[in-house]
A and B are shown apart, each in its own frame.
Chain A
Amino acid sequence: MPSILVYLLRRILQAVPVILLIMVGSFLLIQLAPGDAVDALVGDMGGADAAFVERMRQEYGLDQSVLVQLWRYLVKLAQFDFGWSYVYEQPVATVLMSRLWVTMLLMVGALSAAFVIGVALGTLAARRAYSLTDNVISTLGLIFYAMPSFLLALLMILVFSVKLGWLPVSGIKDIGAFHTGWRLWVDIARHLVMPVAALSLIYMAFYMRLMRTSVLEVMDLDFVRTAKAKGAGGRRLMFHHVMRNALMPVITLLGLQISTVLGGSVVIETIFALPGVGQLAYTSVIKRDLNTLMGIIFLASIIVLVVNIVTDMIYAWLDPRIELQ
């Protein structure tokens, strides 16, 4: 078997106990909070008699002990059955799938924007270190770095939607416009501009700072001097010799931050009323929709683990000295 497959297989096998631990831990943690789905339901109904509540609990299996509930859940999960969402009256898998793409667009958009722009600005700042350009970039970086994303989001809504009217305030598409084809995608893109910007700016600032330091460091290394002595200069020197080597710490950080980006998307989706997984998580907590919440946690863990494996592989691809094992 090629070593890359062996490596992947091993990483996936290692991920299984990690996921199991996360699921068991989350399940027990959620049980620690007072109240359950029936309480939330009854609360919404404006109250009900005790016999009805009791019958509901039996129907949902909530009258069993926590361990029995956990066991039942895990057995189903092993068959990739995420259960039924009492709030959405649909299987959890269906609910998740209908919302996953929004979150994915948001995250991939935010991370790529942060990475590409951050790396470019960081490199530019390093090449012109201590100049006016560098000072402007670094100061802007500091501002974005220090600004909470929810504040940034609200400011952007105020400026670009309310005052200027350039971009839609919330949602993922114009309801009632019934766009199709490329018009639909343009519409979605317009709705995503502000959420992506609000989520990505802080990471952009991170990558910019890190890339600047890293490029400055690499530019002082011996092999860059060798490249100069060969007659290389300008773009060739930056791309082939400096940037590729300087990217390594940025990629490490990117891999580590994937979980915080996921967390950040909960806030952003809630503010911009995007029908994504983050917003779903928020409502599931409020409505005590245990199955949906567990499904989200499962999905999130998978995303984080996959991204980590992918970053390790990118790392090995960029640096031949690192062997996957």
Chain B
Amino acid sequence: MSATPILQIEDLRISLPAGADRPYALEHLNLTVNAGEIVCLVGESGSGKSLAANAVMRLLPEPRVHVSAGRILLDGEDVCSRSEAEMRKLRGDRMAMIFQEPMTALNPQKTVGWQIDEVLRLHTDLDRKGRKARVLEILADVHIPDPASACNAYPHQISGGQRQRVMIAMALVMNPRLIIADEPTTALDVTTQKQILRLIKEMQAKHGTGILFITHDFGVVAEIADRIVVLRLGELVESGPADQILNRPQHPYTRALIAAVPALTPPPHKPLSDAPVVLRASNLRKSFAARGGLLSGRRNAVVAVKDLSFALRRGETLGVVGESGSGKTTVSRIVTRLLESDSGEVMIHDRDLIRASRADLRSLRKDIQMVFQDPMASLNPRKRVVDLIAQGPIVHGVPKAEAHARARELLELVELSPAAADRYPHEFSGGQRQRIGIARAIAMQPRVIVADEPVSALDVSVQAQVLRLLADLRDRLDLSLLFVTHDLRVAAQLCDRIIVMQKGEIVEAGPTAEVFAAPEHSYTQALLSSIPGRDWQPPQLSVA
């Protein structure tokens, strides 16, 4: 191999504006990407990993955030000393970037073809015909089914996976030396994620590109990394070959991170078959009217949930898993009657939630509470934590003083300090906010908690803590949990039984251990085989 690496970052320091939580977003970062190598930059939110990527591209929001020390060498040449005009020539040509959310990363007003063509217009002298041919070629390369028609499509007209392929095509079209991929599969379904990861590897092997791959997901890391660099709060804690970091991590932080990755081993089977059923849903149906013109006559309904039945026993955790569009969120909203179902019934101790009158509904809702995905969006930012938690009980007639006292106790139960009571949601971290969301739900002393992706917005280490809290509360308060998630690792860790949904239907259901060990339906098999890093068994680590 030739000597000069594609990317060398030496002792990089990025300064934050005065008044930030720390003076430097990144300090003493050293990193090398060689030709044909995938280097994973791993860290939780706030670790500075995305800033490192933007620093290489020189896309930092300067001058507020800027490189204040160190060097970034692309093919041995310093990037930091270049003018903006020189940088524009490099970007898109010799180094390219792939972003997390392909929907927002593509211009909604331009066609896919136009957006790829723009790279060629910027960096080549090809004429219109030559560019068109190249665009079609690269779209075929990334396995877009019908390149010619994809060219004329707008980003909103193609699927999420296709959009990410377009992003990759855009990054690859000039055969760059370096590709920086910033969480490129985080927003995608597992099966799509698997395809995209495979595509990235395939492209990298074909062109010998160096890839700096930024992610928080150790599953993904295990899937593709050659070498790994772990960041925490702007500091490099550990780096080395993938095998060494994944299986023999040295630094306590790396060890803690890896220990927090949910293993794909389901909990031991609990004898729940004789526990009483607390919630029974039968024959739920829901369809949404599709958009279509009044005169065009195309108003087909989209069926989100068709003929769905399940039972939830006391103390049980039932996982509802599936990809986006499978109808799992619709189910969670119907059983809490946040959404009216078309037909079917949801029985909670012999009363039907679906047909309950307004007054009955209010008393029934006490028994079934929700925990939402985004704790920032689901907590009123202008209310104190104690008011947020006590609100429900007060509505249901608990005297204010008593409700407040109880709210403070609940904070302790969810492992928050009682001092948190008088603060506002924005003063907390994501994990703490989700604890508040959980406290709010259990304040009503429900029998059932419906949790819709409650840990999806959280970092792995925080995710593990919140999952542990949920399991602990379930056991202590004898709660039943309906747990909606797209993350099979999380489902494996927490759920006693799971329902696998596809296109509004249950394709497979059963005890988690059995479904994971011997999936029967082809869709379940596809889902399970798509879990990133499924061949890597996180080592059993003792965390100090």
Residue of A6, A228, A240 touching B91 (CB-CB under 8 A): A228
Are A230 and B170 closer than 8 Å at their CB atoms? yes
A244 to B123, CA, bound (A): 23
Residue of A10, A229, A233, A240 touching B110 (CB-CB under 8 A): A240
Are B295 and A223 closer than 8 Å at their CB atoms? no
Are A229 and B96 closer than 8 Å at their CB atoms? yes
- Which chain A positions have C-beta within 8 A of B441? none
Counting CB contacts under 8 A, is B527 at the interface? no
Interface residues of B in 53-76 (CB under 8 A from A): 57, 59
Q: Which residue of A lies closest to B58 (CB)?
A: A228
- Which chain A positions have C-beta within 8 A of B57? 228-229
Interface residues of A in 235-250 (CB under 8 A from B): 236, 240-241, 244-245
Are B122 and A231 closer than 8 Å at their CB atoms? yes
Closest 10 pairs between A and B when the two form their complex, measured CB to CB: A231-B92, A230-B92, A222-B104, A229-B97, A231-B91, A325-B293, A320-B154, A223-B107, A222-B105, A226-B105
Counting CB contacts under 8 A, is B213 at the interface? no
- Which chain B positions have C-beta within 8 A of A10? 294-295
- Write the nearest CB–CB distance from A158 to chain B, whole angstroms: 46
Counting CB contacts under 8 A, is B84 at the interface? yes
Are B89 and A231 closer than 8 Å at their CB atoms? yes
- Which chain A positions have C-beta within 8 A of B84? 233
Known contacts A228-B59, A320-B156; 6 additional CB pairs below 8 A are A222-B101, A230-B91, A232-B88, A321-B154, A323-B291, A325-B293
| B side interface size, CB within 8 A | 34
- Which chain A positions have C-beta within 8 A of B296? 3, 6, 325
Are B108 and A232 closer than 8 Å at their CB atoms? no
A236 to B295, CA, bound (A): 40
Are B122 and A245 closer than 8 Å at their CB atoms? no
Residue of B90, B96, B104 touching A223 (CB-CB under 8 A): B104
- Which chain A positions have C-beta within 8 A of B123? 231
A245 to B107, CA, bound (A): 9
- Which chain A positions have C-beta within 8 A of B294? 10, 325
Are A321 and B156 closer than 8 Å at their CB atoms? yes
Counting CB contacts under 8 A, is A28 at the interface? no
A236 to B170, CA, bound (A): 17
A interface, CB within 8 angstroms of B: 3, 6, 10, 221-223, 225-233, 236, 240-241, 244-245, 318-321, 323, 325
21 A-B Cβ contacts within 8 A? A6-B293, A10-B295, A221-B104, A222-B104, A222-B105, A223-B105, A226-B99, A226-B105, A228-B59, A229-B59, A229-B91, A230-B122, A231-B122, A231-B123, A232-B118, A240-B107, A244-B109, A319-B108, A321-B154, A325-B293, A325-B296
- Write the nearest CB–CB distance from A270 to chain B, whole angstroms: 42
Are B105 and A225 closer than 8 Å at their CB atoms? yes
- Which chain A positions have C-beta within 8 A of B167? 226
- Which chain A positions have C-beta within 8 A of B101? 222
- Write the nearest CB–CB distance from A315 to chain B, whole angstroms: 12
B interface, CB within 8 angstroms of A: 57, 59, 84, 88-93, 96-97, 99, 101, 104-110, 118-119, 122-123, 154, 156, 167, 170, 291-296
- Which chain A positions have C-beta within 8 A of B156? 320-321
- Which chain A positions have C-beta within 8 A of B119? 230-231
- Which chain B positions have C-beta within 8 A of A221? 104
- Which chain B positions have C-beta within 8 A of A240? 107, 110, 118
- Which chain B positions have C-beta within 8 A of A323? 291
Q: Is the interface of A mostly helix, strand, loop or mixed?
A: helix
Most B CB contacts (10 A, CB to CB) among A10, A223, A232, A236 go to A223
Q: Which residue of B lies closest to A237 (CB)?
A: B88
- Write the nearest CB–CB distance from B120 to chain A, whole angstroms: 10
Residue of B92, B104, B154, B295 touching A229 (CB-CB under 8 A): B92
Q: A3-B296, A229-B97, A230-B119 are in contact. Are A223 and B92 (CB under 8 A)?
A: no
- Which chain A positions have C-beta within 8 A of B110? 240
A229 to B91, CA, bound (A): 5
Q: Which residue of B lies closest to A234 (CB)?
A: B88
Q: Which residue of B lies closest to A227 (CB)?
A: B107
Are B109 and A225 closer than 8 Å at their CB atoms? no
Are A222 and B99 closer than 8 Å at their CB atoms? yes
A227 to B118, CA, bound (A): 9
A319 to B154, CA, bound (A): 10
A318 to B154, CA, bound (A): 12
A297 to B154, CA, bound (A): 42
- Which chain A positions have C-beta within 8 A of B122? 230-232, 236
- Which chain B positions have C-beta within 8 A of A321? 108, 154, 156
A232 to B57, CA, bound (A): 13
- Write the nearest CB–CB distance from A72 to chain B, whole angstroms: 35
- Which chain A positions have C-beta within 8 A of B109? 244-245, 318-320
- Which chain A positions have C-beta within 8 A of B92? 229-232
A117 to B358, CA, bound (A): 55
Most B CB contacts (10 A, CB to CB) among A228, A229, A232, A240 go to A229
Q: A6-B295, A225-B59 are in contact. Are A231 and B93 (CB under 8 A)?
A: yes
- Which chain A positions have C-beta within 8 A of B91? 228-231
- Write the nearest CB–CB distance from A129 to chain B, whole angstroms: 12
A4 to B381, CA, bound (A): 45
Q: Which residue of B lies closest to A319 (CB)?
A: B109
Most A CB contacts (10 A, CB to CB) among B91, B107, B170, B296 go to B107
A240 to B92, CA, bound (A): 17
A57 to B119, CA, bound (A): 76
- Write the nearest CB–CB distance from A112 to chain B, whole angstroms: 22
A321 to B88, CA, bound (A): 30
Q: Which residue of B lies closest to A244 (CB)?
A: B109
- Write the nearest CB–CB distance from B390 to chain A, whole angstroms: 37
- Which chain B positions have C-beta within 8 A of A226? 97, 99, 105-107, 167, 170
A320 to B59, CA, bound (A): 29
Q: Which residue of B lies closest to A324 (CB)?
A: B293
Q: Which residue of B lies closest to A242 (CB)?
A: B107
Q: Which residue of A lies closest to B104 (CB)?
A: A222
- Write the nearest CB–CB distance from B241 to chain A, whole angstroms: 29
- Which chain B positions have C-beta within 8 A of A232? 88, 92, 118, 122
Q: Which residue of A lies closest to B116 (CB)?
A: A230
A231 to B92, CA, bound (A): 5
Most B CB contacts (10 A, CB to CB) among A6, A320, A321 go to A320
- Write the nearest CB–CB distance from B94 to chain A, whole angstroms: 10
A10 to B57, CA, bound (A): 51
A231 to B115, CA, bound (A): 12
A240 to B88, CA, bound (A): 16
- Write the nearest CB–CB distance from A53 to chain B, whole angstroms: 54
A84 to B246, CA, bound (A): 91
A320 to B115, CA, bound (A): 15
A169 to B96, CA, bound (A): 61
- Which chain A positions have C-beta within 8 A of B291? 323, 325
Are B293 and A3 closer than 8 Å at their CB atoms? yes
A309 to B532, CA, bound (A): 51
A225 to B105, CA, bound (A): 8
Q: Which residue of A lies closest to B53 (CB)?
A: A229
A321 to B291, CA, bound (A): 12
